[in-house]
Amino acid sequence: MKLPVKMTINGQSYSHEVEARLLLVHYIREQIGLTGTHVGCDTSQCGACTISMNGQAVKSCTLFAVQADGATITTIEGLAKNGDLHPIQMGFWEKHGLQCGFCTPGMIMAAQQLLERYPTPTEDQIRHQLEGNLCRCTGYHNIVKAIQWASEQMAGKK
Amino acid sequence: MATTAEQRLFGKSIKRREDPRFITGQGHYTDDLKLAGMTYAAFVRSPHAHARIRSLDTARAVKHPGVVAVFTGKDMTGVNSLPCGWLLPELKVPPHMPLVSDVARHVGDPVAVVIAESQDAALDAAELVAVDWEVLPSVTGTEKASAKGSPPLHAVAPDNVAFKWQIGDAAATEAAFKTAAMVVGKRIINQRLVANAMEPRACVARYEDATGDLTLWVTSQNPHVHRLLMTAFVLNIPEHKVRVIAPDVGGGFGSKIFLYNEETVCSWATRKIKRPIRWTSTRREAFQTDAHGRDHVTDAEIAMDKDGKILALRVKTIANMGAYLSTFAPAVPTYLYATLLNGCYTIGAIHADVTGVFTNTTAVDAYRGAGRPEAAYLIERMIDAGAAALKLDPADVRKRNFIPKFNTPYQTPVALAYDSGDYLPSFNRLLAMLDYKKFRAEQAEARKQGRLLGVGFSTYIEACSIAPSKVVGQLGAQAGLYESGQVRVHPTGKVTVYTGSHSHGQGHETTFAQLAADELSIPMDDIEIVHGDTGTVAFGMGTYGSRSAAVGGTAIHMSINKIKEKGKKIAAHLLEASPGDIEYANGQFQVKGFPGKAVPFAQVALTAYVPHKYPEGLEPGLDETSFYDPSNFTFPFGAHACVVEVLRETGEVKILRYLAVDDVGNVISPMIVDGMVHGGIAQGVAQALWESAVYDDASGQLVTGTMMDYALPKADMLPMYETDRTVTPSPVNPLGIKGAGETGTIAATPAVMNAVVDALSPLGVDHIESMPLTPERVWKTIQAAGKGK
């Protein structure tokens, strides 16, 4: 049985009929074609699928698409505005916060929530808030630095 | 603007060119690919560690809506075993079929594939494939594999022994042990690990009936190797009609070197159904089927004189190969392990004896470091055990044993000849960063309060620049280990560099562009790096063993030199000078010492393609290819230290500091090398403290089969790393590069273990047999030590 879903993703409205069991991440990747949101595990550990849904960082592998009916979603593709990178994106680039790049979209989306909660986070706060996102390349050192850099930039803009 | 010598790009940290696509979600990973007419594959796998297929019924699956085809091993006629690419003497090589049709030998062994219009339909139908299993007794433990009564896996190896291999001089070792003032023996278990690159393995296979062309997109560290193995050995299809593309690949750590069942099956099946097929591993499948790493059980003995000078080392290792021999598996616990047991020390005699065994577990092959971490862990643990037995400071004992500075090959007792080394300065730098004396004072103070503080060292060595083809050929490799590099100068003076190396996080698009821009003195923006496509890149061997910069980079360097030589002839003709009088400097070909009498690079490029005024007999075009085969391995080294506090009540280990001074020879990008060191340290620390692939002894089930059960390190489990470098250029290659991709993983595990043992030493602990050092294991160690007193 298929169910109707409507949602706004990166400012654009979408409506589809989807199977009830379709995961939100697969809807975003396969149906919408936004492949920046990744799938790295099947137990909700890795966080590569993290998106922003109604202002909350969520793992899109742990939601059905139908649960996002009516939601406003931002994925990694929607973070830069008018071609200007978000300070977190710039931070990851500036501080070499990525190597293979696979965890990066989820990391950046999680970091966005982190900096909303803690605009000037301590190192411990950054590390704790990133518990739900795994990176196998960087050992997290430069991810922490990237987020610190972004925090400073964002504070400077206020 | 030409780049001046002062503005050298070689050695500069430059923001990566690959990042804009990754930080905006525009990377192109294999699973992102969608082709017209795409179908989706799901594999039916053995739920048992060892089981015979009594019958396999696909009837219900075939009828399931959306199913295009179901194939079993019996359908794959004319298909050969997946090959083992490294043959030791008397190695037992059992068949390793892409789909098992008789006996499954580990949990996850694939028996059938379902291909459907959607991923969901494929997964649903896979559950409808009915297999009647006759469950057989299984063995998973490394030591148990060849014990009496253990069930044999393969007819070719009734005792489950894949090989028996040794290196070094047994008699000299025995003699040295007899004269030693001190001998200490320890059991060292190097547990099984899972690489867990964040991107699961995936492939898309597309056969085009009209042309007979097969294109395979696959998560590969070495697309040419994938193509060669698959076409020449398994599927018997023409190599030139197959194009293998490894697009953006989300980490490898060794696990994406090998030819696996799934891409082989999809490449075969697309020819049958004549539609593209996509398969992406779930993480659960990844745990069950990606090649695992390590898994050694070793008894080691070290002999020292009374001052801690190492006289000899004797090692007996059982290496678990898993159920089959993966692509390069036999090399890992032999030539990549025992040849490194000499560490960075002068050791008179070494003997190592290695037995490889089959078990009902996932195949073991190279995982970041591959053999070298096992060797470094052993020698670094044993030198500490020896120092402890003699009540000597482990830092002093290391200094006493370092090979003095050398720039000509140093021959070890275990085959290898080190290229260059200067071990004391990196260790001294580390001790200064640590403020070692001060730490020992703090530690003594803390001990008075009952706190358990410890420091552990690891002065490691490893072998990179893999590898001289002739040498590895003698040792059993069925492949050459050179690398290709092509430099194509376009008529406008823009440059495309094609490299046989493959980047899956290493940042070659940046570092190789730095290298080329530096040598050609042209802007980086004028240079494009292409990799990962057999359709465009000359035959290459790919990326592993920290070989890309040292071997792949050198191939590019050689091609640039050829471009310069040809350019000199063209410029000489234009300048009406002799080619011998032309030099290349600051982006122009000039008469030596006369920068005013010059032709810019771009003009020479244009002339090469519009050869109106052109030297007689010279071919048009400016496009050069080189294959670099190194004359030796390179040997990066360094010194790491970990400072820990162990909580007596809970057994928790807290990392207080982690310090690393590495020497990887010349460095193209400090930023990228630092990043690799960080990531390597994280993996090495994780082996010491958290990670372990565990099989249930009775059932043969992989207990740690998901990310819920297998403890990958998270951000809050690791510290910031304090890093520095010394630079001892390698004389092996003209770039002086040694290699940096694995140092952290190799160095970190013993540093952490030595730190914990040091912390617990007041309780009488001088060794802990097994890792990871979970709170439970440490707590039990503390309790046992207490009872022993």
Structure confidence by residue, pLDDT tens digits, B54-83 = 999 999 999 999 999 999 999 999 999 999
Residue B551 amino acid letter = V
Beta-ladder partners of B350: B313
Task: State the average pLDDT over residues B91-112.
Answer: 98
Beta-ladder partners of B157: B154
Q: Identify all chain A residues contacting B23, using CB atoms and an 8 Å cutoff.
A: 76, 85, 89, 92-93, 98, 101, 104-105, 108
Q: Quote the CA–CA distance of B360 and B322 in Å, as a whole number.
A: 6
Rounded to the nearest angstrom, the minimum Cα separation between A136 and chain B is 6
Task: State the average pLDDT over residues B233-251.
Answer: 97
Tell me whether B369 touches chain A (CB under 8 Å): no
Say how many residues make up chain A: 158
Numbers of helices and strands, H then E, in chain B: 18, 28
Q: Mapping DSSP to helix (H, G, I), strand (E, B) and coil, where does residue B432 land?
A: helix
The count of C-alpha atoms lying within 13 angstroms of the C-alpha of B136, restricted to the half-sphere facing its C-beta, is 23
Cβ-in-10-Å burial (0-12, 13-18, 19+) of A94 comes to middle
Among A46, A80, A99, the residue with its CB nearest the CB of B707 is: A46
Tell me whether A119 touches chain B (CB under 8 Å): no
Closest CA to B208 of B376, B364, B35: B35
For chain B, give the percent of residues with pLDDT over 70: 99
Q: Identify all chain B residues contacting A124, using CB atoms and an 8 Å cutoff.
A: 716
Q: How many CB atoms neighbour CB B155 within 10 A?
A: 9
B788: confidence class by pLDDT, cuts 50, 70, 90: low
Judge whether residue B308 has pLDDT over 80. yes
Give pLDDT, residue A157.
72
Q: How many CB atoms neighbour CB B80 within 10 A?
A: 16
The residue behind tokens 């990392």 is B655
Rounded to the nearest angstrom, the minimum Cα separation between B28 and chain A is 8
Closest CA to B487 of B429, B561, B388: B561
Cβ-in-10-Å burial (0-12, 13-18, 19+) of A153 comes to middle
Judge whether residue B4 has pLDDT over 90. no
Tell me whether B654 touches chain A (CB under 8 Å): no
Q: Which of residues 69-88 of A touch B (CB under 8 A)?
A: 75-77, 79-80, 85
Cis-peptide into B491, omega within 30 deg? no
| pTM greater than 0.95 | yes
Average pLDDT over chain B, rounded to an integer = 97
Torsion angles phi and psi, residue B150, rounded to 5? -70, 140
Q: Residue B742: closest CA among chain A residues belongs to which residue?
A: A137
Ramachandran area for residue B78 (φ above 0: left; ψ -120 to 50: alpha; else beta): left
Closest CA to B548 of B746, B332, B739: B739
Beta-ladder partners of B496: B488, B528
Give pLDDT, residue B6.
54
Task: State the average pLDDT over residues B120-124.
Answer: 98
First to last CA, chain A: 49
Distance of CA B22 to the CA centre of its chain: 23
Q: Residue B280: closest CA among chain A residues belongs to which residue?
A: A39
B435: confidence class by pLDDT, cuts 50, 70, 90: very high
Return the H-helix or E-strand segment holding B278. strand B277-280
Judge whether residue B5 has pLDDT over 70. no
Judge whether residue B726 has pLDDT over 90. yes
Interface contact flag, A100 B250, Cβ < 8 Å: yes
Say how many residues make up chain B: 789
Q: Which of residues 128-147 of A touch B (CB under 8 A)?
A: 128, 130-131, 133-144
Burial pattern A2-28, b for ≥16 Cβ within 10 A else e, equals eeebebebbeeeeeeebbeebbbbbbb
Task: State the average pLDDT over residues B448-464.
Answer: 97
Judge whether residue B1 has pLDDT over 80. no
Q: Residue A21: closest CA among chain B residues belongs to which residue?
A: B120
Q: Quote the CA–CA distance of B226 and B264 in Å, as a whole number.
A: 9
Give pLDDT, residue B2.
44
B786: confidence class by pLDDT, cuts 50, 70, 90: confident
Identify whether the C-beta of residue A2 lies closer than 8 Å to the C-beta of residue A16. Answer: no
Among B505, B683, B708, the residue with its CB nearest the CB of A43 is: B708
Q: Mapping DSSP to helix (H, G, I), strand (E, B) and coil, where does residue B68 land?
A: strand
Identify whether the C-beta of residue A73 lies closer than 8 Å to the C-beta of residue A9. Answer: yes
Rounded to the nearest angstrom, the minimum Cα separation between A158 and chain B is 23
For chain B, give the percent of residues with pLDDT over 90: 98
Rounded to the nearest angstrom, the minimum Cα separation between A129 and chain B is 8
Interface contact flag, A76 B24, Cβ < 8 Å: yes
Cβ-in-10-Å burial (0-12, 13-18, 19+) of B778 comes to buried
Interface contact flag, A136 B744, Cβ < 8 Å: no
Q: Quote the CA–CA distance of A87 and A95 in Å, as a whole number.
A: 12
Q: Quote the CA–CA distance of B320 and B363 in Å, as a whole number.
A: 8
pLDDT by residue, tens only, chain A of 158 residues: 899 999 999 999 999 999 999 999 999 999 999 999 999 999 999 999 999 999 999 999 999 999 999 999 999 999 999 989 999 999 999 999 999 999 999 999 999 999 999 999 999 999 999 999 999 999 999 999 999 999 999 998 76
Q: Quote the CA–CA distance of A34 and B65 in Å, as a whole number.
A: 27
Query: DSSP states of B543-605 as a string?
Result: S-TT-IIIIIHHHHHHHHHHHHHHHHHHHHHHHTS-GGGEEEETTEEEETTEEEEEEEHHHHH
Cis-peptide into B608, omega within 30 deg? no
Give pLDDT, residue A1.
83
B3: confidence class by pLDDT, cuts 50, 70, 90: very low
Interface contact flag, A104 B23, Cβ < 8 Å: yes
Task: State the average pLDDT over residues B129-135.
Answer: 98
Q: What is the DSSP letter of B693?
A: -
Tokens of B409: 């090959």
Query: DSSP states of chain A as a string?
Result: -EEEEEEEETTEEEEEEEETT-BHHHIIIIII--TTS----SSS-S-TTEEEETTEEEETTSSBGGGGTT-EEE-GGGTSBTTBPPHHHHHHHHTT--SS-SSHHHHHHHHHHHHHH-SS--HHHHHHHTTT---SSSTTHHHHHHHHHHHHHHHHH-
Closest CA to A88 of A74, A71, A68: A74
Closest CA to B587 of B9, B13, B16: B9
Identify whether the C-beta of residue B655 lies closer than 8 Å to the C-beta of residue B643. Answer: yes
Give pLDDT, residue A76.
98
DSSP3 helix / strand / coil % (chain B, rounded to 5): 30, 25, 40
B262: confidence class by pLDDT, cuts 50, 70, 90: very high
Task: State the average pLDDT over residues B558-569.
Answer: 98
Tokens of B617: 């007999």
